[in-house]
Structure 1
Amino acid sequence: MVKSLPRRSEVPAEETWDLNSLFASDKEFNAALESLQQEVAGFQKQFKGNIQDAASVVEVLTSYLALLEKLVPISTYASLSLSTDQTDDEAQMRSSKFGSVSAKMSSQLSFVTSELLALPEETLKSAMEQSGEFEVYLKELIRRKPHQLHPEVEKTLAAYSSTFSAPYGLYNTTKMVDMAFDDFEVNDQSYPLSYVSFEGDWEAEPDAELRRTAFTAFSNKLKEYQHTTAKTYDMQLQTEKTTSDLRGYDTIFDYLLFNQEVDRSLYNRQIDLIMTELAPHMQKYAKLLQKAHGLDKMTFADLKISLDPSYEPEITVEESKKYINEALGIMGDDYLKMVERSYSERWIDFAQNTGKSTGAFCSSPYGNHPYILISWTGRMNEVFVLAHELGHAGHFYNANREQNLFNARPSLYFIEAPSTMNEMLVANHLLKNSDDPKFKRWVISSIVARTYYHNFVTHLLEAAYQRKVYERIDAGQSVNAGVLNIIKRGVLEEFWGDAVEITPGAELTWMRQPHYYMGLYPYTYSAGLTISTQVSKRILNEGQPAVDEWLEVLKAGGTKTPVELAQMAGVDITTEKPLRDTIAYIGELIDELVALTEEIEEVAK
């Protein structure tokens, strides 16, 4: 039974992460922030106007890198302490203080990029020869040169950075602080509702009446905030459009894809092929769910249910270790030591409490260990979620050790490949260990319903919706709640066809994800999973050599483009083949679910 969420202060400490490796106290945090402000002022005094030759380029970048390394734990502490309880006044004020101080420091430091780009290209190339440590950073800087503005403009824009990121903060405040859900009733019994309980429990509730009533109650509350949330989102969109125009990009898509280092054709391909070629497979899956549950009709509120809820194992945090260790053992001892430390040293926040951010994420501050946020409900599904976040952790655990801060982070296009790879390793491990048709069906349905549904459907439909929104913004228009509802409903109806009834409230799904405040992020989930699906097949077939190559990819961090990183792992994403193969593989899994269900039903007769 779903319970009301406790306050953060009521949660056992062992279920929370330990931020002491960042700062042991607020006093320590404030002292570090004050010290860094003084260092930034000294840095500006020392170097501004003095970057003139290759030697001074290397000198300024060495000092600049040291400053940024000191900024990382301060930024991370401010962000993570707020993410676990956004109702906490102290955490709110700390985050706001950091935002304003960070914007001031960014403005003071903006001269570095401006002065470097004012130098002849030959000088920058000479600096690369003198210090290979800065080669990737300087190459990227040269690539950015056509979009660089006057130094004073850059300084002013940097000073407004906290204002530009305000829509994301507003979104989270509306969602996690202001939006309070009432209990809902079914058959004269009252049930508690919250963002976390809806997305963690009620969406997957086997009882159709409970599940659908919860969906209606949840949607009704979202609807009350749709106009504020839409206005917040439009503010984000208009800021991005203005920035795109100011910097001279042809379209807002070119601006948002620039840092991802991928051609727009790769972005469009991911959306277009999945919308057309995956849709028939997923419609078949929806009809299978309807039949298995004996539903009168298949509605949007029914899409997250398990194929066989009676076979859904419950699992404790402690029990999850065994599955994670066995599944990820193929990655080697060093990787497993990281996994062990994540549990024993409290890198993971498992607690469920009011005000906590929804979903799950991994933060990997340079020079420290990763931190993972998850709200543990006890469903076996969470083993996949935890493996996913440990994939991010393992990626940056390796990259941060091998690369400097400038070089550690790869393109957003590639960022979800290591995370989804771990989900595939969990699935492959579970499939190997049983021939029981019911268990096999449960594992395959978990792969389809968790790994592929989440990344190839939920996030991809976000991406298809997002593309239509940006096309509108690029044409000089704006959006409001009515427009966003129409666009979202249209995308859902196009994908699900007549297999699923898009019931009232489904159109408000655009309100639920923070990804829209992170550029063209949603489509990268399917892009990453396309790569990891192909690499996981290689690991199954080839074993250790494929694993060793994958570990080298993780260590490479951001020193290569997404195309080059995929090539290192034996996948060519310049062609449609990996994506078509992955879609075909999902189709095969769904066909196998249909066959297993028929086999199980035949035995039961």
Structure 2
Amino acid sequence: MIKRNEVKIEETWDLTHLFATEQLFEEAIKTVIEEANLIELNFKNKITDAKKVLLVLAAYKNLNEKMIPIRTYASLAYSVDQTDDAAQMRSAKVGQVFAKINADLSFITSELLQLEEAILIEAKNLSPDFAHYIEKLIRKKSYLLHPDAEKALAAFGATFDAPYELYNTTKLVDIQFEQFEVNGKTYPLSYNLFEGDWELESDTEIRRAAFEAFSTKLRQYQHTTAKTYDMHLKIEKTESDLRGYKSIFDFLLYNQEVDRELYNRQIDLITAELAPHMRRYAKLLQKVHGLEIMTFADLKISLDPTYEPRISIEESRAYMKKGLAVMGENYQKMLDRAFDERWIDFAQNHGKSTGAFCSSPYGYHPFILISWTSRMNEVFVLAHELGHAGHFYLANAEQNVFNARPSLYFIEAPSTMNEMLMANYLLENSNDARFKRWVISTIVARTYYHNFVTHLLEAAYQRKVYEIIDEGGSVNASILNKLKRSVLQDFWGDDVEIIEGAELTWMRQPHYYMGLYPYTYSAGLTIATQVSQRILREGNRAVEDWVNVLKAGGTKTPIELAQMAGVDITTDKPLRDTIAFIGSLIDQLEQLTEEIDHI
């Protein structure tokens, strides 16, 4: 794995779009500190009427817009090389500065909610731009603490983020993987190589050896990682109790604007009703690959590994343009800009964050991180992240900084939608049975397995963890391993052997440090599946509705956003229909495999 300074510049993102020089970055920090001080001087203990409400919100909005590129620059520079001392110190500095600013300005929320509600309603009526923000403030009123307590909590912001930072430092800096050996030949190993290549390797001996080597190294860090996670959970539980929520679940779901019913439904229905379909898929993989035993280490392999083409970064651009053409001309221009202006970091290097993500700073273009392996399935990963980019490209242009971001429940709908659109395009443009099987198997193995199985099983495990924490308990490596193993065994039954090391997959997921996030992937894909089917049936009318949903940003609840797109998530019908759709895809894979085997 090469170092960051050895990668090709054209495979990296261009952070100069945020700050051209380090000096400008430092000057921006000074500016926001000064503006925060002015806001405190001008407004603390002085917010008495509707006009003052609007003045302080306008000043706070402008400050937030200036803070966003600072936070983004520090975070993105650190994410591509967490071994970089300068990036570590820059990120730490921003965390400390912003914690102080947030503490100093915590009075804004406290004073606003101490006003009579009639004053807030008057301010809302005077300025529609701030109406949604004020409504959300009023909703939070019963959970607000004393102003001094709010200031203290805000001051500890950087400290409360420490578990996530510790997790990433352990994972991406301290853990050093040795090479592993198969039949006298050695192979390199790292987080990105395992998750991007070795998990998908068609050679069973190499794949299983890589899994064993990877798990052996993870196990050496399980106790530190478990203690870090337990610390994070205790912080969440403490704040939940302090604010008076009935449970930690209610606390974490509050900002998602959904209730426990939607949360539990997603986990319970999929665990019960999707499992039989996915077990069939596992059996099909076992049959095609001639495996005597199907193990957990074999679940990510391709149904037809000899067919999957290799694809260059430039070739991926053509797929994005064609596959997402249905989204319209403005969307196409965004895709061109993403490649031409280096919004995407494709490089693989030591210290880089695993997986893929999209950061969409308000007032700037999005930035996408991915570690390009040249496998065709990366087309779906890139389409996914461009879905996030397209969402905020449109929402940020239409909404103010307070209104642009929707509920976490909805956040994965636009990203998974792009995966479905890409699949629709590929299937519409070929009648070849083998190609159709490859596309459908990729949808199942990449889109649905990743979002409806991997992340859903993480959610089922996470729920068990939070139940322990909510009762006042603690967790350690032994407990977490048992919980993860039980979830995997319940889902896969006797059809997949949950081998040693499978229980350690809880160590690999940063989403556990982001609240109740894992289950939202299946929630988003449920919406995306239904809307993508509607686009196939209705064409431009459905596309126009979807674009309007994206533009709405966070001005609507998840239920309202889904309704705008023609989906009613207040019932279990969309989820059951999506599970049935996955079952029909596996039916097609079984039929196509039988057809191909008899040619």
Give the alignment's TM-score, normalised by structure 1: 0.99
Q: 2:14: which partner in 1? A: 18
Determine helix, strand or coil for the equivalent of 1:276. helix
Q: 1:477: which partner in 2? A: 473
Q: Distance in 2 between matches of 1:321 and 1:7?
A: 26
Determine helix, strand or coil for the equivalent of 1:413. helix
| Correspondence list, 1:270-285, <5 A | 270-285=266-281
1:508, CA displacement in angstroms? 0.1
Deviations 1:97-135 (A, max 9, x none): 111111000001100000000000110000001000111
User: Does residue 386 of structure 1 match 2:396?
Assistant: no
1:330, CA displacement in angstroms? 0.6
Q: 2:136: which partner in 1? A: 140
| Correspondence list, 1:80-159, <5 A | 80-159=76-155
Letter in 2 for 1:420: T
| Correspondence list, 1:85-484, <5 A | 85-484=81-480
User: Does residue 55 of structure 1 match 2:46?
Assistant: no
1:39, CA displacement in angstroms? 1.1
Q: 2:584: which partner in 1? A: 588
Letter in 2 for 1:589: L
Letter in 2 for 1:186: V
Determine helix, strand or coil for the equivalent of 1:499. coil
Determine helix, strand or coil for the equivalent of 1:190. strand
Letter in 2 for 1:161: G
Q: 2:595: which partner in 1? A: 599
1:26, CA displacement in angstroms? 1.6
Q: Distance in 2 between matches of 1:75 and 1:213?
A: 40
1:534, CA displacement in angstroms? 0.2
Letter in 1 for 2:364: N
Determine helix, strand or coil for the equivalent of 1:309. coil
Q: Distance in 2 between matches of 1:211 and 1:290?
A: 14
Deviations 1:401-436 (A, max 9, x none): 000000000000000000000000000000001111
Q: 2:23: which partner in 1? A: 27
Q: Distance in 1 between matches of 2:528 and 2:396?
A: 21
Q: Distance in 2 between matches of 1:74 and 1:591?
A: 50
1:570, CA displacement in angstroms? 0.1
Deviations 1:268-299 (A, max 9, x none): 00000000000000000000000000001000
1:539, CA displacement in angstroms? 0.3
Letter in 1 for 2:360: S
1:199, CA displacement in angstroms? 0.2
Q: 1:518: which partner in 2? A: 514
Letter in 1 for 2:123: A
1:602, CA displacement in angstroms? 1.0
Deviations 1:283-329 (A, max 9, x none): 00000000000001000000000000000110000001111100110
Q: Give the percent of matched residue pairs that are identical in Structure 1 and Structure 2.
A: 69
Letter in 1 for 2:332: L
Deviations 1:439-484 (A, max 9, x none): 0000000000000000000000000000000000001000000000
Give the unaligned 5+ runs of structure 2: none
Q: Distance in 2 between matches of 1:518 and 1:477?
A: 20
Letter in 2 for 1:271: I
1:223, CA displacement in angstroms? 0.2
Determine helix, strand or coil for the equivalent of 2:362. coil
Letter in 2 for 1:527: A
Match of 1:560 among 540, 552, 556: 556
Match of 2:72 among 58, 68, 76: 76
1:27, CA displacement in angstroms? 1.6
Q: Distance in 2 between matches of 1:538 and 1:513?
A: 33
Q: Distance in 1 between matches of 2:30 and 2:513?
A: 29
Aligned CA-pair RMSD: 0.4
Q: 1:45: which partner in 2? A: 41
1:346, CA displacement in angstroms? 0.1
1:168, CA displacement in angstroms? 0.3
User: Does residue 573 of structure 1 match 2:581?
Assistant: no
Shift >2 Å, 4+ stretches: none
Give the unaligned 5+ runs of structure 1: none
Letter in 1 for 2:589: L
User: Number of paired residues?
Assistant: 599
Q: Distance in 1 between matches of 2:524 and 2:233?
A: 25
Q: Distance in 1 between matches of 2:239 and 2:32?
A: 28
1:34, CA displacement in angstroms? 1.3
Letter in 1 for 2:328: G
Q: 2:487: which partner in 1? A: 491
Deviations 1:131-155 (A, max 9, x none): 0011100000010000000000000
Determine helix, strand or coil for the equivalent of 1:498. coil
Q: Distance in 2 between matches of 1:357 and 1:558?
A: 28
Q: Distance in 1 between matches of 2:494 and 2:118?
A: 61
1:353, CA displacement in angstroms? 0.2
Give the alignment's TM-score, normalised by structure 2: 1.00
Letter in 2 for 1:45: L
Determine helix, strand or coil for the equivalent of 1:319. helix
1:21, CA displacement in angstroms? 1.1
Determine helix, strand or coil for the equivalent of 1:362. strand
Q: Distance in 1 between matches of 2:415 and 2:395?
A: 14
Determine helix, strand or coil for the equivalent of 2:358. strand
Q: Distance in 2 between matches of 1:78 and 1:25?
A: 13
Q: Distance in 2 between matches of 1:536 and 1:236?
A: 37
Determine helix, strand or coil for the equivalent of 1:359. coil
Q: Distance in 2 between matches of 1:190 and 1:452?
A: 33
Q: Distance in 2 between matches of 1:415 and 1:405?
A: 16
